[in-house]
Amino acid sequence: MRYKQALINLSLAIGIIILLNVLMHSRIGNFPLYTRFDLTEDQRFTLTPATTSLLRNLDEVVFVKVLLQGDFPAGYKRLQESVEDMLLDFQSENALISYQYEDPLAGNTEQVNTRKKQLAELGVLPVSLNVRENGERSQKLTYPYAIFYYKGRSIPVNFLENQIPGVPPDVILNKAVTLLEYKFIHAIQQLKQSTKPTLLFLDGHGESLPAETADIENSLRETFNTGRIVLDSVVAIDSTVKTLIISSPKTAFSDKDNFKIDQYVMQGGRLLFLVDKIAIHLDSLRRGEYLPNERNLNIDDLLFKYGARLQPNLLLDMQSSVIPLATGQVGNAPQFEYFRYPYHLVVIPNSNHPAVKNIGPINMQFAGGIDTVATKYPVKKTVLLQTSAESRYQFLPLRMNFDFMRYPLDEKLFNKGPQSVALLLEGSFSSLFENRLASSMLSSLQNQGRPFVGKSPETKIMVISDADLIRNRIDKQTGKIIPAGYNEFEKYTFSNKDFLLNALEYLSDDEGIIAARGKDIKLRLLNTTKIKEEKVKWQIINLLLPLVLITLGGLLFHFIRQRRYQ
């Protein structure tokens, strides 16, 4: 009888365990019945709420083809594992996520070449790795990509885009791991969108020419529809326009222009201002002494009402890029040397805001300061970019020349601390024209079906005090576009374009998926010097110590047994 009861109890226990196991791996629709706990310090295995929401609202299979396949060095192995971990995390939120691995370089020569050609048509190009095997270095091609498929559409994701020259591979790979969630969910979001949101560049006030913004526009077209608008040609700015970009205006805005911009914001529109308060360019100084002037753009009241004020000054920073100056002549050829030019700022983002998180150094030329001011309604003001602590500023009137470059910069003068050069405003804004319109004007707007709005819904405005940030140059010999942020004197491409793309995405993002950019996965590397110094000690601890402990335990057990049963 007892035997039967024990058998029944055992069967019940096994059945309960099986039932719990089934329930813990089951779902109701797209919602899992199980949970898990992320005990890591940086919460690397926890998806952001926006990512979770987007994944759970999928209505069809998202298939992911991972091309990072093969034998790689340790750093790339970690990236491989992180990719699979991220896809498993996505899959845990929705079973409609499916993936497989494919090695594009597997097969005979003809198959590999055909596959390379097909991938190149998608913009997927191989990366060459330096691999050390048996003490010898060799080159190995790999494809650090995944291709996402959804409802007959596809989009490739590059794990290693925007590499910075001179940065150690471990840091680059860690950045790639950090951005995996953002890149994956951003790709899914793009595939889900039936139509792309619209971004418009403003024209009619001497703004940046299409050729000067061609580089960033080419990149924006992957995610947005872009175009240009002249305010004189429209009655109002369409509220379906996601973001209006006002880049480098040089002539004054009329009150009608400001009214159209203001009412666009009151309808929930987003603005990106890139404004040079002071009219100056490096080419102006090469012709001799120059007296810069303040531009009268007639947008100060508009910005002030929204919570920002552009200072009529020029910032100088010890942390700056170089320019060439003639220091002598050999024969008929001038001799040039490179000097740090404090008006050309090198701004290193130190904010954790997702618009600037994981962005490299940014090069700004003749930027001014930005102050915040009180607003009628609460507005969140976030400084995205600021100069280093070794900064100063100069107000007009000012004589500009290169004479001061003959002498070392006096660090004691650079004592004004960090100065804001990029400011984000978020909240509900009050209209500049509130209580300023005549009743006849209000009636006219009402009759046109465009009633005046005095308070905006929650929206975003970004102000940057350097219009050159967005500008690219054109190679005069080849006609090719030189990327925005490329400094011909430093022979280096700064992260100007990355910052602007992130800024515009943040301004246009309603679902909040850009928050995934704010994740910070720390790189925990072993101390290689200490490893070499203590190699023998740890080999002894790991190999010999366990054997010694087992031997001592065996002898102790034998001694106790002998005494007990002797």
pLDDT one-digit tens code per residue, 391-438: 999 998 888 888 787 778 888 889 999 999 999 999 999 999 988 888
C-alpha distances (whole Å) from 5 to each of 2, 10, 12 are: 5, 9, 11
pLDDT of residue 310: 94
Q: Which tens digits make up the pLDDT trace of 19-46?
A: 766 665 555 554 555 555 555 555 566 7
**For position 41, what pLDDT does the model report?**
54
- Tell me, yes or no, whether 332 and 294 share the same domain: yes
- Determine the residue type at 428: S
* Residue 144 sits in the same domain as residue 231: no
- For residue 53, give the H/E element and its range: helix 49-56
**544, part of any domain:** no
pLDDT digits (tens, 9 = 90+) for 219-230: 899 889 999 999
Query: Same domain for 90 and 223?
Result: no
Residue 6 inside a domain? The answer is no
> Tens digits of per-residue pLDDT, 241-295?
999 999 999 999 999 999 999 999 999 999 999 999 998 888 777 777 788 899 9
Q: Give the pTM.
A: 0.78
Look at residue 13 and tell me if it is in a domain: no
Contact 455, 427 (CB under 8 A): no
Residue 283 and residue 488: Cα distance in Å, rounded? 14
* pLDDT value for 538: 79
**Cβ neighbours, 10 Å, residue 145:** 23
Report how many domains make up the chain.
2
Residue-level pLDDT at 529: 66
Predicted confidence (pLDDT) at residue 337 exceeds the cutoff of 60: yes
Question: Does residue 3 have a pLDDT over 70?
Answer: no
Identify the CA nearest to 129 among candidates 116, 145, 143, 113.
Answer: 143
In which residue are the tokens 């120059």 written?
290
Residues 187 and 226 in one domain: no
Q: For residues 381 and 232, state if they share a domain.
A: yes
Distances (CA, A) of 309 to 196, 302, 369: 33, 9, 9
pLDDT of residue 1: 58
Are residues 119 and 218 located together in one domain of the fold?
A: no
Which among 157, 137, 124, 141 has a CA at the least distance from the CA of 71?
Answer: 141
- Retrieve residue 544's tokens: 């010999």
CATH number at residue 393: 3.40.50
Task: Please write the tens of the pLDDT for every residue from 171-205.
Answer: 777 778 888 888 889 888 888 887 888 999 999 99
Mean pLDDT is lowest, of 6-10, 134-138, 399-403, 470-474, for 134-138
- The model's confidence at residue 343, banded by pLDDT at 50, 70 and 90, is very high
pLDDT band for position 357 (50/70/90)?
Answer: confident
Note the pLDDT of residue 437: 84
How much is the mean pLDDT over the chain?
Answer: 84
Instruction: Find the mean pLDDT for residues 315-343.
Output: 82
- Measure the CA–CA gap between 427 and 266, rounded to whole angstroms: 11
One domain for residues 85 and 130: yes
- Are 380 and 415 found together in one domain? yes
SS3 call for 412: helix
Give the DSSP H/E element, type plus range, for residue 370.
strand 370-372
Cα 300 from Cα 348, distance rounded (Å)? 27
Q: Which residue range forms the structural domain that includes residue 81?
A: 25-191
Residues 100-138 have pLDDT tens digits of: 988 888 888 888 888 888 888 888 888 777 666 555 666
Residue 551's H or E segment, with its range, is helix 545-565
